Structure 1
Amino acid sequence: MTQHFMPGERRPASGGPKAAARNRAALVAAAREIYAASGLDAPLSAIARRAGVGQGVLYRHFPDRAALATAVLEENVGQIEQAAAVEKASLADVLGVMTWHLTESAAFIGLLHVYRAGARSDIRAHVLTLSERVERSLRGHLPVGHRLGAVDDLMLAVAMVSGAVSGPTREERERRALAAWRLLGIEVGPVRPFEG
């Protein structure tokens, strides 16, 4: 039913900045859940429904798929960068944080496979930037002469491990990721989110 207003009558408030901040947070949380299960190609309409808002609200906050994907993946990448910035962090420590994110999110795995054929052109450039940030964080901890020191070897190893991350539970995905690192002869620290 459409509500009609008389001239001069005030329309109800939209909720203002507080509602806008809540809606944005709800959209990012919904996108994180849906992307974690379905990857970056999940329908935006499903994200809006999960957040309890209309698609118009989604597009007010995120003008395109790339903006929403970047907002969601920024947290994953930010945690890896924070882990890498810890003064005494080792490559194994940073790989532990990165591996945790691999076991949690299909979207994050998609980020690390950005070069694959068929990657969505509308998000490719944004995701490529995030992927490069992950590589810089890891590469900064590679000891001189490390087996992954060659130009493409580091991210190829990451892509190989992320390709092994499958299974119905987070525990199974972690077990498979650690087995893949072990087969590559790479030590990984505790698999957990970064807790600054």
Structure 2
Amino acid sequence: MAAQAKENRGPAAGPENRRALIAAAREVYAVSGYSTPFSAVAKKAGVGQGSLYRHFPDRTALAVAVFDENIRVIEAHAESPDGTLDGLFDLIIEQVLVSSAFIDMIVADRDDERVVQLAARIRGAADALVARERAAGHINTSVDADDVVIAISMLASTLTHGDAELRAGMVRRAKALLWPAFASAPIEHRAD
């Protein structure tokens, strides 16, 4: 039986194709890594190469689209009255574990204006959370958004380049190191 040709819906299919490409990219790069051919994303999404390049002319554009979705979640967390730095770190960890190949793409083009804008949005979310946590007395008054951004970078790098089988332990250790540094009062060192 011959395969039926896919109907060309033209521009109306654009938003659906874009969502399919982002979802496919998350899956393809999570499994195969940064070196996966760009065309594998189009194939996985079930769209043509032309559609891929119309939406994402390069790998950085695709990585920025993936991170844009991630950062929207972070911004919503920061805007929520219940948002905390601990929750932010949990979100970052969750996102890094499924987006590590994209981190390499972003780092490779860190001076690209699209990437710079993403970093500014993360900084904005960190500013909001630090202000709230400081006002509530949950963190040391010397902690600022730059400290949070450095902690995020350290978490992302460690989890992205660490042994996948050891990640759960790395997450526990990273959080155990971060919280005493951010705490509003010195925390006694416990020998476990």
Question: TM-score, normalization: structure 2?
Answer: 0.70
Question: 1:132 is paired with a residue of what secondary structure?
Answer: helix
Task: Give the CA deviation at 1:148.
Answer: 6.8
What is the aligned counterpart of 2:128 among 115, 140, 152? Answer: 140
The 10-residue stretch of structure 1 (22-31 or 80-89) with the greater mean CA deviation from structure 2: 22-31
Tell me the equivalent position of 1:27. 21
Q: Which runs of 5+ in 1 are unaligned?
A: 1-11, 189-196
Distance 1:89 1:39, change over 3 A: same
Answer whether contact 2:79 2:128 (CA < 8 A) is retained.
no
1:179 matched to 2:191? The reply is no
What is the aligned counterpart of 1:88 among 78, 82, 86? Answer: 82
The 10-residue stretch of structure 1 (81-90 or 135-144) with the greater mean CA deviation from structure 2: 135-144
Give distance in 2, aligned partners of 1:174 and 1:135.
26
Between Structure 1 and Structure 2, the one with more helix by share is: 2
Answer whether contact 1:26 1:51 (CA < 8 A) is retained.
yes
Tell me the equivalent position of 2:67. 73
Give distance in 1, aligned partners of 2:151 and 2:141.
10
Distance 1:147 1:160, change over 3 A: farther
Question: TM-score, normalization: structure 1?
Answer: 0.69
What is the aligned counterpart of 1:46 among 40, 45, 49? Answer: 40
Task: Give the CA deviation at 1:28.
Answer: 1.2
Answer whether contact 2:17 2:47 (CA < 8 A) is retained.
yes
1:120 matched to 2:116? The reply is no
Give distance in 2, aligned partners of 1:125 and 1:80.
20
Give distance in 1, aligned partners of 2:7 and 2:154.
52
Tell me the equivalent position of 1:193. none
Answer whether contact 2:84 2:129 (CA < 8 A) is retained.
yes
Answer whether contact 1:148 1:154 (CA < 8 A) is retained.
no
Q: Which runs of 5+ in 2 are unaligned?
A: 1-5, 183-192
RMSD value over aligned CA atoms? 3.2
Answer whether contact 1:91 1:141 (CA < 8 A) is retained.
yes
Tell me the equivalent position of 2:164. 168
Give distance in 2, aligned partners of 1:75 and 1:174.
24
Answer whether contact 2:126 2:145 (CA < 8 A) is retained.
no
Tell me the equivalent position of 2:51. 57
Instruction: Return the structure number with greater relative CO, CA threshold 8 A, min gap 6.
Output: 1
Give the residue type in structure 1 aligned to 2:52.
L
Answer whether contact 1:30 1:51 (CA < 8 A) is retained.
yes
Task: Give the CA deviation at 1:152.
Answer: 3.8
